[in-house]
Structure 1
Amino acid sequence: MPDLSQTAPQSRTIPRLALIALAGATLLAALGISIVSVALPTLAGAFSVSISGVQWIVTAYLVSVTVMVVIAGRLSDRYGHRRILLSGLCIFVLSALLCAVSTTLQMLVAGRLLQGVGGAILMVVPMSIARETIARERMGSAMGLLGSMSAIGTALGPSAGGILIAAFGWRASFIALAVLALPVALASLVAIPRTVIAKTQHLGKRTAVLSTIGSRRLGSGLAMNVLVAVVMISTLSIGPFYLTFALDLHVAAVGIIMSAGPIMSAISGVPAGRATDRFTTSTVITAGLLTTIFGLICLASLPRLFGVAGYVVALCLLTPGFQLFLAANNTEVMMSAPEDRKGTTSGLLSLSRNLGFIVGASAMPGLFSVAAGSGAIQAVSPEAVAFAFTATFLGCAALALLALLLARAFHPARLQ
C-alpha cells in the first residue's frame, strides 16, 4: 500500500487508518455485486424460482446503485463526506442482515435494493474524501489504490462466496458482508476527519449537476469513462461465450481463465496511480487508451491463433490499460471538481461508469449475436463464434479510439 499519509500542502493529510477505511469501503461496494453472483443457482433452488426471477437479486443492487450515485455525492457535499460515509456503512450492514434473514425472494430483492443505496455511497464518497484530504501530487496513488480494491473485490467475490455458500449456506455470504463492514465503519469513525461543509451549497441539485457536467474537462472525462466502461464490461459479457462455444471449455475452466483480468487489474492499479503522480494525467490517459487499443486488438486476434494461452496473454496486456486510464481520468476529473461539488463529481463518475456497463452489457452481446448469425448460440459453429468474437472486440477497439480522440480534442495542448 502506498504511503499517502505524508504531510501534504495546505494541511491536506490523511491518517493511514483513514486510507484503509476508504479502501475497505471501496472493496465492500465491489463485493456487494460479485459475492452474490455465485449464489444465484443456490438461491433459485432455495426459493423455487426461474433464472430470470433470481437475476433480480443482482439487478436490484445495480439499479439502486445507478439511481443513487449522484444523489449520494450531492448529499455528501451538503452534509459532509464523513457523515454520509458512516450512514452508508450503517445502511450496508442493516441491509445485508435483512438479506441474510429473508424468507422470500421479494424480501431478499427489497434488501438488495436497500443495500444498493449503501453501495452507492461506498462507491462515491471515498473518492470525495480523497479529493478533500490528499495532496494533489499524491492523488494518482490514491485513485490507483481505490481502483485496485475495486478489482480485488470483483475477483475475490465469486471465490469467497463459493467457499462460504458451500460451507454454511447462502445466508453466510450476506452475513460476511455485514461483518466486514463493521471494522470499516469503526476505522472511518475514528480516523476520517470531519468535512468542512462549503458555503455555496444553496445551489439546487439539478443546477449543481448541470454546472459540473458543463465544464469541458469534466464533461470529456465523463464521456471517456462511459466509452471505456462499455469496453470493460464487454470482456466479462462476451468472453464466456467464446471460451465455452469456440474453445469448448468447462464452466469451471472458464471461471478460472476469466479471473485473469480482475487479478491483473488488482496488481496494476497502484502502479498506475504512481504513474499518474509522476507524469501528467493527460500523458497517462493517452498511454492507458493506447494500451487498451493494443490489448483489444490482441484480444480480437491472439485467441484465434493460440487458444487459451492467447486469451490469457491478451487479457494481461489489456487490463493494465484500463487501470492507467481509470487512475489518471479519475484524478483529472476529481481535481477539476469545484470545492463545493466534490461529492457530486464523484457521483457523476460512478454514474458514467454504470451507464457504460449497462450499455455495454446490452449492446455488445447484440453485436456479437449479429456477427455470429441467427439462431441459438449452441447451434452456431465454433468458427462463426470466433469470427463474432473478433468482430466484437475490433468494435471495442474503435470505441477506445473514439475515447482517445476525445482526449486529444479537449486537451490538445497537454497531450502533445
Structure 2
Amino acid sequence: MPATSSPLTAATATTPATGGIPAASQVRWILASLSLSMLLSSLGTSIANVGLPTLTQVFNASFQQVQWVVVAYLLAITTLIVSVGRLGDMIGRKRLLLAGITLFTIASAVCGAAPSLLLLIAARATQGLGAAVMMALTMAFVGETVSKEKTGSAMGLLGTMSAVGTALGPSLGGMLIAGLNWRAIFLVNVPLGIISFILARRYLPQDQPASDKTSSRFDRTGTLLLALTLAAYALAMTLGRGHFGVLNLALLLAAILGAALFMLVESKVASPLIRPAMLRDITLSTSLAMNTLVATVMMATLVVGPFYLSRSLALSDAMVGLMMSIGPVISACSGVIAGRMVDRMGAQATVITGLIAMTAGAFALALLPAMLNITGYIIAIAILTPGYQLFQAANNTAVMQDITPNQRGLISGMLNLSRNLGLITGATLMGAVFAWATASNDIRTAAPVAIADGMRITFIVAGVMLVVALGIAGVGRCWVRRDVKSED
C-alpha cells in the first residue's frame, strides 16, 4: 500500500521504536508461535460442533440449549476482538497475548472437567475471550517481526494455520469422542496451549513502553457500547434457527441504534476506541467491506453445501463429510503459496486477482454441479478456495504492513471482526436465500430438484456479491493512485 497521509499513517513520527526486525532464525520461531496461536483459536471454533449430539445426551438437554456451547465461544470473540486488540496496543501485545493463551488454556481445562452444561457454556465464553486475544494479536505481531517484503508470506502462513484448524476440528473431534469421550475435545487444547505459551514467552519481542500518555486511557464507554451492539447483532442473526421473528427484529434495531450511539460517543471522547476518522481511510474501509462480503460468501458453501450433497446428489454422510473437507484442505495447501504471490505481485493486484478467482468459483458453483454433478462441485470449490486464500493474504497485508505500531492490535481486531460479522451474516442471509430459492416450506423435505435450484440461485447471488466486492476493490485502487499523484 503506498504511503499516504491517512489517519493510519500520519502518527508515525510519534510512534516509539520497535527495536527493528528480529534475525531470520528468531523469526522462524516467532512465526511458529503465532501459527500455533492461530491454529488453537480456529480449532476451538470447529472442534466443538461435532460434540453437540453427544452433549445433548450427556446433559439431557435440547439442541437449542447445547448450541450455546458453540454460540458462547463465537459471541465472546465477536464482541471483544476489537477491544482486546486496542488493549494490546496500550498495555503491550506480548503481555496480553500471554494472558490470552493462559486464559484459553485454563478455560479449556475447565470445559473438559465441567460437571454441568451451564458451567461448560460459561467456560466456553471464557475460552472465547482468550481466543479473541490470540486472533487479534497474531496478525499485529507480523508487522513488527517480519520485513515488509515478507509480510504476504507471513499472512499466508497464518491463513494456512487458520484453515488447518478449521479442517482438523471435525475429524479430530470425532476421533477423540469415539476413542475417549467428549471431554477430550476440550482437554486436547491444554498441552497445545502450554506449548504455545512457552514459545510466545521465549521468542516474541518484548513490549515497548508507550510514550503517548493519551494512549493509556482505555475507552470503557466505547468498549461497552461496541460489545453490546455486536452482541445484539450476533444474537439477531443466530437466534431462531433461521426464523426471523419479533425478537430478532428488536435485536437488529438495538444493534443499529447501538452503532449510531457508539459513533456519536467516539467522536466526543478524548481517547476513543475507534476514531471515526479511521473509517475515512479508503484502504481500511474498503478492506473491511470486502472482508465482510467475502466471508458472507464463504459461509454459503458451509450452509448450502451439505444440503446439496446429501439431498440433491444423494451422497452418504461419510461422503458428504469427505466432500466438505475438500475446501479446507485446498485452503490449507494454498495459503503459503498465496502469501508468496502477494510478496511478488503486490497486495492491491493480488486482492483483485483473488476476487476474480472467487467470482469465477461462485458462478461455477451455480452452474457446473448441474452439468457435471459431483465433479462440477469439486472443480468449482477448487477455483473458489485458492481465490479466497489469495484475497485473505493480500487484504490483510494491504492493511497491516504500513500502519503505525500503536494501532496494529486495533486494526487486526477490526479485520477479524469484519470477517466474523460476514460469517454470522452469511449463515443467516445466505441460508434465507437458499430456503427461499427452494420454494419449500421445509428444506429437510424439499425435492432434490428444488435443492439444486436453491444451490444455483444462492451462488448466483454470491457471485453478484463478489462482483460488488470487485467494484469496491477497483474504487479503492483508483483512490490510492489519485492520492499518490496528488502527493507527487
TM-score of the two chains, using structure 1 as the length reference: 0.95
CA distance in 2, matches of 1:50, 1:70: 33
Most deviating of 11-20 and 60-69: 11-20
The correspondence for 2:198, drawn from 173, 186, 197, is: 186
Number of residue-to-residue matches in the alignment: 408
**Is 1:145–1:269's contact at 8 Å kept on the other side of the alignment?**
yes
What one-letter code is carried by the residue in structure 1 that aligns with 2:20?
A: S
Asked if 1:349 is matched to 2:358, the reply is no
User: Which of 77, 102, 126 does residue 89 from structure 2 map onto?
Assistant: 77
Map 1:136-285 onto structure 2 (within 5 A): 136-200=148-212, 202-203=214-215, 205=219, 206=266, 207-210=272-275, 211-285=277-351
Aligned-residue offset at 1:349: 0.4
SS in 2 for 1:169: coil
**Aligned match of 2:22:** 13
Note closer, same or farther for the CA distance 1:375–1:201 as it changes in structure 2 (3 Å cut). Answer: farther
4+ aligned runs moved over 6 Å, structure 1 = 413-416
Q: Hey, what does 2:397 align to over in structure 1?
A: 331
**What's the offset of the Cα at 1:213?**
2.7
> Matches of 1:157 and 1:139 in 2, distance apart?
27
C-alpha offsets along residues 253-293 of structure 1, whole Å, 9 cap, x if unaligned? 11110000000000000000000011111110010000000
Note the C-alpha offset of 1:234.
Answer: 0.9
Q: Is the 8 A contact 1:298 1:314 kept in 2?
A: yes
Distance 1:288 1:10 in 2: 34
Superposed displacement of residue 24, structure 1:
0.2
Q: Which of the residues 130, 136, 143 maps onto 1:124?
A: 136
In the alignment, is the contact (CA less than 8 A) between 2:30 and 2:200 conserved in 1?
yes
What's the CA shift for 1:134?
1.1
Distance 1:199 1:333 in 2: 24
Consecutive unaligned residues of structure 2, counting only runs of 5 or more, are: 1-17, 220-265, 267-271, 483-488
The 3 A distance-change label for structure 1 pair 363 and 19 is same
Whether the aligned pair in 2 keeps the contact of 1:218 and 1:336 (CA below 8 Å) is no
Q: Whole-Å Cα distance in 2 between the matches of residues 399 and 44 of structure 1?
A: 37
Separation in structure 2 between the aligned mates of residue 376 and residue 59 of structure 1, nearest angstrom: 24
Cα separation, partners in 2 of 1:98 and 1:13, compared to 1, 3 Å: same
- Does 2:385 align with 1:319? yes
Does residue 289 in structure 1 map to residue 355 in structure 2? yes
Q: Is the 2:163–2:332 Cα contact (8 Å) retained in structure 1?
A: yes
How far did residue 374 of structure 1 move? 3.1
Structure 1, unpaired ranges of 5+: 1-8
Give CA-to-partner distance per residue, 1:17-76, whole Å, 9 cap, x none.
111000000000000011111111111110111111111100100000001100110111
Counterpart residue identity of residue 126, structure 1: T
Counterpart AA for 1:405: G
Query: SS of the residue aligned with 2:214?
Result: coil
Residues 222 and 348 in structure 1, CA contact (< 8 A), matched pair in contact too: yes
Whether the 8 Å CA contact 1:201–1:340 is kept in 2: the answer is: no
Q: 1:197 to 1:240 in 2, by over 3 A?
A: farther
Q: Deviations along 1:338-396, whole A, 9 cap, x unmatched?
A: 32111000000010000001110100010011111131123322111111100000100
Whole-angstrom distance in 2 between the partners of 1:390 and 1:54: 32
Which string of whole-angstrom CA distances, capped at 9 and with x for unpartnered residues, describes residues 87-116 of structure 1? 000000110011011111111000000000
**Residue type at the aligned position of 2:173:** G
User: Residues 201 and 66 from structure 1, CA distance in 2 versus in 1: closer, same or farther, beyond 3 angstroms?
Assistant: farther
Change (3 A) 1:415 1:384: farther
TM-score by length of 2: 0.81
Q: Equivalent residue for 1:5?
A: none
The alignment yields a C-alpha RMSD, in angstroms, of: 1.6
Paired position in structure 2 for 1:6? none
Deviations along 1:184-213, one digit per CA (max 9) or x if unpaired, are 110101011112244336155442413433
Q: In 1, are the aligned partners of 2:282 and 2:479 still within 8 Å (CA)?
A: no
Residues of 1 paired with 2:286 and 2:430: CA distance?
A: 23
Residues in 1 aligned to 2:385 and 2:407: alpha-carbon distance in whole angstroms: 30
| Conservation of the 8 A alpha-carbon contact between 1:330 and 1:349 | yes
**Larger Cα-atom Rg:** 2
Give the letter aligned to residue 219 of structure 1.
Answer: S
Instruction: Indicate the residue corresponding to 1:302 in structure 2.
Output: 368
Contact 2:33–2:196, Cα closer than 8 Å, also in 1: yes
| 1:87 maps to amino acid | A
What is the Cα deviation at residue 335 of structure 1?
2.0
Amino acid at match of 2:447: S
Confirm or deny: 8 A CA contact 1:286 1:415 kept in the other structure: no
Could you say which residue in structure 2 is the equivalent of 1:57?
A: 69
1:43 to 24, 49, 55: 55
8 Å Cα contact 1:282/1:411 also seen in 2: yes
8 Å CA contact 1:99–1:108 kept in 2: the answer is yes
Match of 2:15 in 1: none
Q: Is the Cα–Cα contact under 8 Å of residues 88 and 117 in structure 1 kept in the other structure?
A: yes
Counterpart Cα distance in 1 of 2:192 and 2:149: 31
CA distance in 2, matches of 1:396, 1:201: 46
| Secondary structure in structure 1 of the residue aligned to 2:47 | helix
Post-superposition offset of 1:214: 3.0
User: Does the 8 A contact of 1:143 with 1:273 survive in 2?
Assistant: yes
Instruction: Supply the distance in 1 between the matched residues of 2:422 and 2:395 (Cα, whole angstroms).
Output: 15
User: What residue identity is the alignment partner of 2:338?
Assistant: A
The aligned residue for residue 391 of structure 1 is 457
- Choose which of 28, 34, 37 in structure 1 pairs with 2:46: 34
